[in-house]
């Protein structure tokens, strides 16, 4: 143990940046706190423009060799990173739960296996990536995905390692080098990832991890002229600042942002299924960008839907996320809790009725909440809360359902519960959303395009879309008769 190590449930985590294959400490630190009980986990190196510049320089220096590394070798190393994640899965799970308060059982069984899969999937996809050559008047067109250079990847706290590796894996597979900046509330698993990647044989400088506040290190990263791509997952206001900063060099951006997604429940739906989908929206204490937080329910079944929803939600257990029996853990931060409660109390003051919840609980927990009697143009219907707070509105017919569903500035996802396939086809065709689920929720394949419409995002990642973003896609046209001086 050194002064730069903290220990979480017996797991040692280095609190310094990882730059050019070395641990680098800042003179300043910030305090990392567990949302489970408010306990201090430790002091983390707090980066500034100086560390940003060092990380970009390291990524730039490492780029030519990594870009020239054959695809098969890059893929082999990424599989070795996945092996390392699997070997340390229990450690990653408990550290992540302690740092962000999400359920340990989800980290063990869903999230961390998915982290390993991120590396395996993009390693394998890289090996399949090709576009068939085609001819133009006897000339051959050849499409290639060329590595672009250093990529800045900035991630939020609600699913830290999963969202980070969903960017890190394709960026590295593409032959780029990376500067990862995890959220300041959840920096720990990114530091463990740096250890795992080094052990797996990823060359120094190919992956760099810097920590700190967006306002202090962010601009220096996103406005740096040597950065070739910026991929950001987080909130809309931050995205606007990043877009302005990236505009200085016209650096290409991928933005995965917030949402206010609807769940449409038609009278012809399997109501038990619809209620199951609805209760799922409390997962991760409501801190899920894709969450269907606006229930739109056909009038004739609204009362019955609400009755069944209340019964089912009443069975959820809220408490310590390390406990296997817990369904809903704490919210990330006291500041976030105050924000959530502010939304709810303003909605109630404006006439909303809390069918369940509507208040804080002890510690950093918020009672699962369902609000009715909410106006379409009200703050609670239009703004992302990012907590266990859902609203219910009714509609009379399909046209009204679609109109309400599309009437926000977001367009990340939508979920439709209906027993009629023709209705499903009609409705999904009209919904403005990057992802639409019909009679299901959160089924996500890494080869599918992922992203948001309107202010929920810019661009798509996933499968080939990820390589399209992280690479300079090139078309080389060769004439049939230019070889006369050869041999
Ligand atoms: P946030 O925007 O506050 O912060 C996200 C990251 O940006 C953090 O790492 C932060 O340090 C950094 N940052 C802040 N200011 C910066 C600046 N000026 N320059 C560069 N970086 C800066 O978001 P959050 O509160 O951490 O996350 C919650 C938000 O993320 C919600 O809106 C949620 O919907 C969204 N989200 C979206 C997706 C998706 O895939 N669409 C997934 C998860 C979360």
- 133 with 237, same domain? yes
- 272 with 194, same domain? no
Tracing tokens 């699962």 back to the chain, one arrives at 368
User: What is the tally of structural domains in the chain?
Assistant: 2
The reply to whether 416 falls in a domain is yes
| Ligand 1 pocket check for 231: Cβ under 6 Å | no
Angle at 210 between CA 8 and CA 31, to 5 degrees: 45
- 102 with 153, same domain? yes
Collapsed DSSP state (helix, strand, coil) of residue 156 = coil
- 374 with 407, same domain? yes
| Ligand 1 pocket check for 222: Cβ under 6 Å | yes
Record the tokens describing residue 206, joined without a space: 């190919």
Q: Could you tell me which residues come within 8 angstroms of residue 33 by beta carbon, excluding any fewer than 6 positions away?
A: 39, 40, 41, 185, 333
Which one of the listed residues 51, 289, 384, 471 is annotated catalytic?
Answer: 289
Which one of the listed residues 51, 91, 256, 461 is annotated catalytic?
Answer: 256
- 150 with 215, same domain? yes
* Closest to 179 in 3D by CA, of 147, 235, 239, 222: 222
The reply to whether 483 falls in a domain is no
- 360 with 432, same domain? yes
Residue owning the nearest CA to atom 28 of ligand 1: 234
* Closest to 9 in 3D by CA, of 107, 110, 111, 109: 107
The reply to whether 484 falls in a domain is no
Using CB atoms within 10 Å of the CB of residue 49, give its burial: 0 to 12 exposed, 13 to 18 middle, 19+ buried. Answer: middle
Collapsed DSSP state (helix, strand, coil) of residue 176 = coil
Using CB atoms within 10 Å of the CB of residue 421, give its burial: 0 to 12 exposed, 13 to 18 middle, 19+ buried. Answer: exposed
The reply to whether 380 falls in a domain is yes
Phi, psi for residue 127 in degrees, rounded to 5: -70, -20
Q: How far is CA 117 from CA 54, 86, 312, 408, 462, in A?
A: 30, 10, 32, 34, 13
The domain in which residue 161 lies consists of 5-257+452-475
Q: Is 256 assigned a catalytic role? A: yes
The reply to whether 302 falls in a domain is yes
Give the torsion sign (CA, 282, 381, 273, 421).
negative
Residue owning the nearest CA to atom 19 of ligand 1: 218
Q: Is 289 assigned a catalytic role? A: yes
Tracing tokens 């990882």 back to the chain, one arrives at 18
Using CB atoms within 10 Å of the CB of residue 5, give its burial: 0 to 12 exposed, 13 to 18 middle, 19+ buried. Answer: middle
* Closest to 381 in 3D by CA, of 306, 294, 452: 294
User: Which CATH number is 276's domain given?
Assistant: 3.40.309.10
What H or E segment, with its residue span, contains residue 292? strand 292-298
- 203 with 326, same domain? no
How much is the pLDDT for 486? 67
Contact status, residue 406 vs residue 429, Cβ threshold 8 Å: no
- 227 with 139, same domain? yes
Contact status, residue 197 vs residue 229, Cβ threshold 8 Å: no
Phi, psi for residue 145 in degrees, rounded to 5: -105, 100
- 421 with 464, same domain? no
CA of 429 to the centre of ligand 1 (A): 30
Tracing tokens 């990236």 back to the chain, one arrives at 246
d(CA 448, CA 429): 18
- 294 with 242, same domain? no
Tracing tokens 């597979």 back to the chain, one arrives at 173
What H or E segment, with its residue span, contains residue 306? helix 299-313
* Closest to 102 in 3D by CA, of 115, 112, 117, 88: 112
Q: Could you tell me which residues come within 8 angstroms of residue 160 by beta carbon, excluding any fewer than 6 positions away?
A: 96, 99, 100, 182, 183, 186, 189, 190
Task: For the chain, list residues with pLDDT below 50.
Answer: none
The reply to whether 481 falls in a domain is no
d(CA 148, CA 419): 46
The reply to whether 443 falls in a domain is no
Record the tokens describing residue 479, joined without a space: 């004439």
User: Which CATH number is 72's domain given?
Assistant: 3.40.605.10
d(CA 220, CA 256): 20
The reply to whether 485 falls in a domain is no
Residue owning the nearest CA to atom 13 of ligand 1: 214
d(CA 22, CA 62): 13
How much is the pLDDT for 482? 81
CA of 183 to the centre of ligand 1 (A): 7
- 222 with 269, same domain? no
| Ligand 1 pocket check for 22: Cβ under 6 Å | no
- 278 with 343, same domain? yes
């Amino acid at each position: 143990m050194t002064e730069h190590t903290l220990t979480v449930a017996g797991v040692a985590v280095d609190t310094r940046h990882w730059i050019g294959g070395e641990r680098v400490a800042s003179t300043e630190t910030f305090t990392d706190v567990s949302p489970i009980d408010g306990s201090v986990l430790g002091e983390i190196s707090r980066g500034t423009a100086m560390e940003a510049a060092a990380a970009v320089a390291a990524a730039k220096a490492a780029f030519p060799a990594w870009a020239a590394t054959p695809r098969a070798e890059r893929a082999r190393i990424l599989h070795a990173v996945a092996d390392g994640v699997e070997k340390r899965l229990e450690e990653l799970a408990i550290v992540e739960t302690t740092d962000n308060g999400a359920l340990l059982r989800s980290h063990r069984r869903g999230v961390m296996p998915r982290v390993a899969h991120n590396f395996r999937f993009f390693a394998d996809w890289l090996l399949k990536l090709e576009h068939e050559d085609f001819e133009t008047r006897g000339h051959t067109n050849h499409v290639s995905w060329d590595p672009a250079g250093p990529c800045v990847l900035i991630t939020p706290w609600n699913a830290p390692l999963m969202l980070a590796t969903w960017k890190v894996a394709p960026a590295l597979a593409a032959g780029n080098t990376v500067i990862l900046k995890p959220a300041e509330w959840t920096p720990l698993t990114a530091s463990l990832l740096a250890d795992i990647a080094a052990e797996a044989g990823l060359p120094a400088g190919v992956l760099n991890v810097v920590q700190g506040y967006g306002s202090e290190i962010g601009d220096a990263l996103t406005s740096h002229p040597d950065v070739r791509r910026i991929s950001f997952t987080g909130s809309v206001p931050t995205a606007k600042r990043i877009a302005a900063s990236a505009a200085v060099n016209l650096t290409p951006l991928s933005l995965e942002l917030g949402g206010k997604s609807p769940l449409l429940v038609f009278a012809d739906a399997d109501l038990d299924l619809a209620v199951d989908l609805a209760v799922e929206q409390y997962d991760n204490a409501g801190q899920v960008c894709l969450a269907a937080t606006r229930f739109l329910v056909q009038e004739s079944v609204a009362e019955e839907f609400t009755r069944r929803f209340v019964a089912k939600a009443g069975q959820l257990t809220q408490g310590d996320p390390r406990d296997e029996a817990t369904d809903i853990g704490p919210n990330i931060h006291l500041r976030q809790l105050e924000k959530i409660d502010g939304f709810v109390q303003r909605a109630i003051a404006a006439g909303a009725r809390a069918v369940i919840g509507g208040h804080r609980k002890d510690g950093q927990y918020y009672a699962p909440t369902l609000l009715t009697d909410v106006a379409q143009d009200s703050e609670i219907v239009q703004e992302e809360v990012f907590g266990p707070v859902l609203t219910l509105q009714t509609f009379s017919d399909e046209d009204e359902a679609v109109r309400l569903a599309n009437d926000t500035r977001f367009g990340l996802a939508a979920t439709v519960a209906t027993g009629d396939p023709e209705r499903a086809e009609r409705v999904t065709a009209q919904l403005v959303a990057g992802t639409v689920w019909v009679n299901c929720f959160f089924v996500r394949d890494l080869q599918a395009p992922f992203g948001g419409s309107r202010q929920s995002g810019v661009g798509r990642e996933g499968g080939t879309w990820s390589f399209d973003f992280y690479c300079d896609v090139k078309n080389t046209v060769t004439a049939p008769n230019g070889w006369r001086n050869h041999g």
